[in-house]
Structure 1
Amino acid sequence: MKTIPVLKAWIGGLILGLLLSSQAIFATKAPKDEPVRIVSLDGTVSEILCDLGLQSHLIGVDVTSTYPESLQKLPKVGHNRTISAEGVISLKPTLVLTSVNAGTKPEVIEQIKSAGIAVITFQQEYSVAGTKKLIQDVANTCQVPSRAKPILKKLDADLAQVKKAINSPKVLFIYARGTGTMMVSGKGTQVDKMIELAGGVNATSSFENYKPLTAEALVTANPDVILLFDSGLESLGGAQGLAKVQGIAQTNAGKNGRIITMDGHLLTGFSPRLGKALQELTQKIAQKPKA
């Protein structure tokens, strides 16, 4: 593995430090002549590393690391919420990167640290400003701060192309993994923030996080648009399968065929592709109902 010059500061035991928000300066060392070996436990962090030109240093990722496609070739250490420390440690990383929102259990992080592996956990706010800060924080951590500039410039250009929905359509997001696992998104979720940024209104904003989907809640919310992950709609058997779910047909979205889908990580990742994600979401929720 070829070591990128700016990361050679690791060689010879030089100190890598980063001041992250309220966190103290983090310092660690790597053995002499050993290239940096990174495991990422967060899909957005993985995407940022690739955009920074550091993919060659990634030796393992979690299953939410789906973009770019080349990440599929790397060893998977599991879903970030159910990762075992042993799987991460077995890859012999120099550095593990994750975010607070990834949900990796604190005891797993401590196990990794106790094995002598450096772990940096980033803060991530679900907003445009939060996305920009995360990109710069990852770049700073990897000692390539200037490489964030073109990424941020591209993000701004993409955001400038976003045309918000003008009539504030009510959007209901359903998280589905087959008919046995169906949840709706309340306030404070990534999807809630995306709907707001796209000019829509979350049809179920009277509660926090997620709640099980019920026919009564569907009818009461009466969304103009129903939004799912591509994989979620597929798990229900497509639009025809969703139409069979009790309460769907009684909503404006069901009556007008306003069922839309997006790639899960693109929709919820708040990654460097945030502008592209909002372009797609705004276009889809603004589409006119079928005649």
Structure 2
Amino acid sequence: MKKVGFLFLALLSLTTACNSGSKSEEEKAKLSKEKVEEKRIVSLNGSVTEIIYAVDSQKELIGVDVTSTFPAAAEKLTNLGHVRKLAIESLLALNPSHVVMLEDEVSPDLKSKLKQAKIELVTFKHPNSLEESKSLVKEVASWLGKSDKATEIVSKIDSDIKNISKLDKKPKVLFVYARGAGTLMVAGEQTPLEKMIVLAGGENAGKGFTDFKPLTSESVIAANPDVILMFTSGAQSLGPDGIFNVPGVSSTNAGKNKALIQMDGQLLSGFGPRVADAIVELNKEFKKVK
């Protein structure tokens, strides 16, 4: 009986040791796989960068573009400048495994060079609506293996958007893009800025044309906006009250009332995970328009 008991204990010890070894090997294999699948990501779009941070995958991010201004931590990463003026050598120097961006921002030259360098290019559709913003969050999160995080973000967007107030009157809003007095463009129909204006309860004053066109005194007087909307950086490039010194603007309702709304460019036009925040903020500003 003692021999049987001893044999049983010996077999039990051996079995436990084998199982322990097996588990250890499985863990090693898993860790090895995870290490292989670790990404070295360069993001060439501010909204995609925001999502990467929002789903807690920023450890895989090694470089960004000039539009990646949020969160503040993104500005500490290597900045490769504007996607359309990208120096491929600077990008390659980071030794990325993946480059992520929006599909309509990929130039044939960049695509070719990334292929030659055997760097995987991952593209996503440009969002221009609330639903497309949520889709972008889901797609980027899914690619990163963080679909659960996407659910939280989308739920917050749906919750926050309920904070929009119905306006008694739709203000006529003219978005002006400025880069100093020498570059003044206004947003027309079918632009992301028009989408944001409408979502926030306003009416786009830029009618009868699509995309952007140069601001002229005749056109701004004809549009007669109640308020001018600008990126903060654009308004600052014109100096204090600079937009109201532009010919024609002083003759509009916006000019007479000095009605100007300034918003962060990435927040206003990014259609990223903060899209509801942008719409609610713009809606609040519209409520102040006379």
Q: Same fold (TM over 0.5)?
A: yes
Question: Which structure: greater helix fraction?
Answer: 2
TM range (shorter): 0.7 to 0.9
1:183-216 per-position Cα deviation (integer Å, ceiling 9, x unaligned)? 0001121111000111111101211110001000
TM-score, structure 2 length as denominator? 0.86
In structure 2, what residue type is equivalent to 1:142? Answer: L
In structure 1, what residue type is equivalent to 2:254? Answer: A
> Which of 60, 63, 67 is the equivalent residue of 2:66?
63
In structure 2, stretches of 5+ residues that fail to align are 1-28
**Count of aligned pairs between the two proteins:** 262
Instruction: Give the distance between the partners of 1:206 and 1:10, measured in 2 at CA.
Output: 58
In structure 1, what residue type is equivalent to 2:134? Answer: K
Query: What does residue 226 of structure 1 align with?
Result: 228
Residues 148 and 9 (structure 1), Cα distance of their counterparts in 2 relative to 1, 3 Å cut: farther
Alignment of 1:1-291 (within 5 A): 12=33, 33=36, 35-101=38-104, 103-239=105-241, 241-289=242-290
C-alpha displacement of 1:113: 2.0
C-alpha displacement of 1:86: 2.0
TM-score, structure 1 length as denominator? 0.86
Instruction: Give the distance between the partners of 2:80 and 2:255, measured in 1 at CA.
Output: 39
Instruction: Give the distance between the partners of 1:243 and 1:99, measured in 2 at CA.
Output: 35
C-alpha displacement of 1:244: 1.2
Instruction: Give the distance between the partners of 2:53 and 2:166, measured in 1 at CA.
Output: 29
Secondary structure at the counterpart of residue 134 of structure 1: helix
CA contact (8 A) 1:84 1:108 kept: no
- Over 4 Å off, 4+ runs: 8-12
Instruction: Give the distance between the partners of 2:40 and 2:162, measured in 1 at CA.
Output: 36
Query: What does residue 29 of structure 1 align with?
Result: none
- Identity among equivalent positions (%) equals 43
Instruction: Give the distance between the partners of 2:167 and 2:43, measured in 1 at CA.
Output: 35
CA contact (8 A) 1:172 1:204 kept: yes
Instruction: Give the distance between the partners of 1:212 and 1:139, measured in 2 at CA.
Output: 38
1:81-101 per-position Cα deviation (integer Å, ceiling 9, x unaligned)? 221322211110011110124
In structure 2, what residue type is equivalent to 1:278? Answer: I
Instruction: Give the distance between the partners of 1:36 and 1:9, measured in 2 at CA.
Output: 16
C-alpha displacement of 1:260: 1.0
Secondary structure at the counterpart of residue 81 of structure 1: helix
In structure 1, what residue type is equivalent to 2:243? Answer: L
RMSD: 1.8
Secondary structure at the counterpart of residue 154 of structure 2: helix
Query: What does residue 3 of structure 1 align with?
Result: none
In structure 2, what residue type is equivalent to 1:285? Answer: F
1:115-171 per-position Cα deviation (integer Å, ceiling 9, x unaligned)? 011111101231111001000000111122112111111111111111243311110
In structure 1, what residue type is equivalent to 2:210? Answer: E
C-alpha displacement of 1:33: 4.1
Query: What does residue 25 of structure 1 align with?
Result: none
Q: Give the stretch that moved more between structures: 56-65 or 277-286.
A: 277-286
CA contact (8 A) 1:183 1:210 kept: yes
Instruction: Give the distance between the partners of 1:104 and 1:181, measured in 2 at CA.
Output: 25
Residues 113 and 166 (structure 1), Cα distance of their counterparts in 2 relative to 1, 3 Å cut: farther
Residues 164 and 120 (structure 1), Cα distance of their counterparts in 2 relative to 1, 3 Å cut: farther
